[in-house]
Amino acid sequence: MRRTVAPRVPGTTRTCRLTACLIATAALLPPLLILPASGSDDTEDLRLQNAFSDAAREFHVPSSVLLSVSYMQSRWDSHPGTPSVAGGYGPMHLVENGGRAPAPAAAPAAAPAAPGGRTDGAPAGTAFVPGGHAVQPADLDRAARLIKVPPATLRTDAVANVRGGAALLASAQRHLGKPLSSDPEDWWQAVERFPGTPDVTTATTYADDVFTLIRRGAHRTTAEGQEVTLPASPGVRSNPGPQAPPRPKEVECPPDLACDWLAAPYVQIDEDGDYGNHDLADRPRDQKIEYIVIHDTESTLPNMFKTVQDPTEASWHYSVRSTDGHVTQHIRTKDEAWHSGSKFVNARSIGVEHEGFLAHPGAWYTEQMYRSSARLVRFLAKKYGVPLDRQHVFGHDNVPAPTGDSIPEMHEDPGPFWDWRHYFDLLGAPLKATAGPDSDMVMILPDYATHKPRYTGCDGDGTRCQPHGSSAVRLHTAPADDAPLIQDPGRRPDGEESTEDVSDLGSRVSTGQTFAVAGRSGEWTAIWFQGNKAWFKNPKDHPTAVGAGGRMVTPKQGLDEIPVYGRALPEEEAYPEGMEEESDEPLPYNLRAGQRYVTQSGVNSSYVDRSTFSDVPQPVVLGQEKYYEIQFGHRLAYVRANDVDLVSSTAGAAGTPGR
């Protein structure tokens, strides 16, 4: 939800009144600061790895526990001197002043209140954990006292920050009356308490994630260029933990995810029949759920909750909190939220909003947010049979514009800094090559940590953003760095050029998106993109795309050009008598003979006239017209099945059959 759009039509997206929201939250936004990678000196690149080893020995904490806790806190990134939204610093995410994370909208039944809403007399910033103990979160000031250094040092020095985290773990272990054992399994309760999570489910899930990572191991190059490895220890077991308290009956979440309920209103607003802020449905019985749309709200959680409870505003199914990944559900998944900017997509999708700002991912896109979101989406995808690929799990910035006029008003979140590769790893559907390097299809797949294209406008003033890992790859009109960027005639019909602004999608593709190859020249690869050849740099030693296999569509023989649509609407004969046919005008792009676009599914045409306040769902109009969903540009699009032929990829591809 990056920007305010035109006045609402039922079923279309609107943001909250963000002018006031953004003014109120501007002070919360730290500058986006990522230090450049260190030089080629191997010893310097391993400085953080050695810091973990040294701190583990000094404080008698198993190195696997220390490394895994740090990964769950920050993925080992330091962001020196720059706090997260929770006020956390460094690779151990040590929180200044005890932390002041906002409370959930409503605490789960039988669970004590979250921080900020305590009823037991415990100090603010204290969190409940299994066993009924109240402990401070990973407190930076306390860590500084334990290792006898100024608190400011722990904000900027990653080595001191790791020492502080190790000292806190050892202190928690002693407080529990447990020995400083070399066996990681003995540290379960200390791990559970480390982040100061506000409820039993979150604390237990956090510890389980830590120990799962210990078993699997991990390796990563951090945002600062540090090489860190956690060796796998498959024999280490988890502790099942206590039973979570009951949740509101409306909540649809996996059992290992902390969720609560805050209802969005379905009410009539005025005598003219206007209503908000969602539609009743009976999904998947009346309409199959095919998509899950990932958003960020460009706002803070309190403002998100105000928006979703306002019947004159937009709505979505779930909110995910930045600080700890806590989930709040607002609309039953059987009903249709107004979240995507397209009634067609709304009718077929579930919307998941994430607290945060796309230009400041280091502060807002936390590891616990990623993990909670992925748990939720994995659960929903399994429940409704949604394929875990980038044509079915996609961003608000990938939603097809329903009409040509709506293209400039479509949204840009979650933006180029959302880590799709990591997110799909967490979904259990890793993005990877499915064909050889000479395949006639490619999947966009840059290395997130080291791929840092230039962006401007993160602070709203047009200046260059600080370098940051990115999922997006920029496209040019020719195979040269100084060639003009590809233009999007729908987004900028006045002919303005694409820019490097963080919100400008006109010349970008994103991790996991798959395209047909249109040519190769040295280190450059061309793809078919919105009816044109678009070039991106793809060197063998640092590839930004890999070979992919599957199916593509191309215009039927004899057709010079076919229309491209932003929705798959039924034929005229399918509409019942008395219902006005919805216009199926094509988008202002061309799909010409000889061009190919990747499809991962066929789509049945449908339309729902949900524009009337009613006690029962409006009927779904089902058509006989068949479509294919294609990756046409940065956004998805649809073509009629009768207009195209299916073509299989070559070069040893592993097929990805459509549904």
Q: Using the predicted structure, report yes or no on whether residue 2 has a pLDDT greater than 90.
A: no
Dig out the tokens for 19 from the structure: 């002018």
Dig out the tokens for 574 from the structure: 């399918």
Q: What is the pLDDT of residue 1?
A: 52
- Asked if residue 380 belongs to a domain, the reply is no
Give the number of residues written for the chain. 659
pLDDT digits (tens, 9 = 90+) for 39-75: 344 578 899 999 999 999 999 999 999 999 999 999 9
Question: CA–CA separation, 135 vs 56, rounded Å?
Answer: 22
Domain that holds residue 559: 553-648
Model confidence at 99, pLDDT cuts 50, 70, 90, reads low
Model confidence at 533, pLDDT cuts 50, 70, 90, reads very high
- Asked if residue 655 belongs to a domain, the reply is no
Question: CA–CA separation, 98 vs 104, rounded Å?
Answer: 18
Question: CA–CA separation, 348 vs 417, rounded Å?
Answer: 26
Q: Using the predicted structure, report yes or no on whether residue 19 has a pLDDT greater than 90.
A: no
Kind of pairing between the strands at 336-337 and 227-230: unpaired
CA angle 271, 274, 276 (to 5 degrees): 130
- Asked if residue 116 belongs to a domain, the reply is yes
Q: Using the predicted structure, report yes or no on whether residue 20 has a pLDDT greater than 70.
A: no
Q: Using the predicted structure, report yes or no on whether residue 10 has a pLDDT greater than 80.
A: no
What's the mean per-residue pLDDT of the chain?
87
- Rounded average pLDDT over 406-420: 96
Model confidence at 136, pLDDT cuts 50, 70, 90, reads low
Question: CA–CA separation, 109 vs 245, rounded Å?
Answer: 7
Question: CA–CA separation, 230 vs 283, rounded Å?
Answer: 44
- Rounded average pLDDT over 135-159: 91
Q: What is the pLDDT of residue 231?
A: 98
Q: Using the predicted structure, report yes or no on whether residue 409 has a pLDDT greater than 90.
A: yes
- Asked if residue 261 belongs to a domain, the reply is no
Model confidence at 98, pLDDT cuts 50, 70, 90, reads low
Q: Considering 211, 230, 249, which residue would you say is the last residue of a domain?
A: 230
Q: Are 328 and 318 in contact (CB under 8 A)?
A: yes
Q: What is the pLDDT of residue 24?
A: 37
Model confidence at 624, pLDDT cuts 50, 70, 90, reads very high
Model confidence at 120, pLDDT cuts 50, 70, 90, reads very low
Token pair 């773990």 is found at 169
Q: Considering 184, 202, 230, which residue would you say is the last residue of a domain?
A: 230
- Asked if residue 297 belongs to a domain, the reply is no
Dig out the tokens for 495 from the structure: 């002919």
Question: CA–CA separation, 619 vs 608, rounded Å?
Answer: 6
Q: What is the pLDDT of residue 42?
A: 59
pLDDT digits (tens, 9 = 90+) for 364-382: 999 999 999 999 999 999 9
Question: CA–CA separation, 156 vs 89, rounded Å?
Answer: 8
Proportion of the chain above pLDDT 90, given as a percent = 76
pLDDT digits (tens, 9 = 90+) for 282-336: 999 999 999 999 999 999 999 999 999 999 999 999 999 999 999 999 999 999 9
pTM reported for the whole predicted model: 0.87
Dig out the tokens for 1 from the structure: 């939800």
- Asked if residue 43 belongs to a domain, the reply is yes
Domain count, the chain: 2
Q: Using the predicted structure, report yes or no on whether residue 115 has a pLDDT greater than 50.
A: no
> Domain holding 226: CATH number?
1.10.530
Dig out the tokens for 260 from the structure: 């609560």
Q: Considering 208, 230, 252, which residue would you say is the last residue of a domain?
A: 230
Token pair 């040092």 is found at 153
Task: Pick the closest to residue 579 from 533, 615, 625, 611 (CA basis).
Answer: 611
Q: Are 280 and 301 in contact (CB under 8 A)?
A: no
Task: Pick the closest to residue 65 from 203, 230, 221, 202 (CA basis).
Answer: 230
- 454 SS3 class: coil
Task: Pick the closest to residue 514 from 608, 599, 581 (CA basis).
Answer: 599
For the ranges 3-12, 46-55, 87-96, 521-530, which has the lowest average pLDDT? Answer: 3-12
- Asked if residue 306 belongs to a domain, the reply is no
Q: What is the pLDDT of residue 86?
A: 83
pLDDT digits (tens, 9 = 90+) for 235-272: 999 887 666 778 889 999 999 999 999 999 999 999 88
- Asked if residue 158 belongs to a domain, the reply is yes
Proportion of the chain above pLDDT 70, given as a percent = 86
Q: What is the pLDDT of residue 264?
A: 98
Q: What is the pLDDT of residue 113?
A: 30
For the chain, state the CA radius of gyration: 25
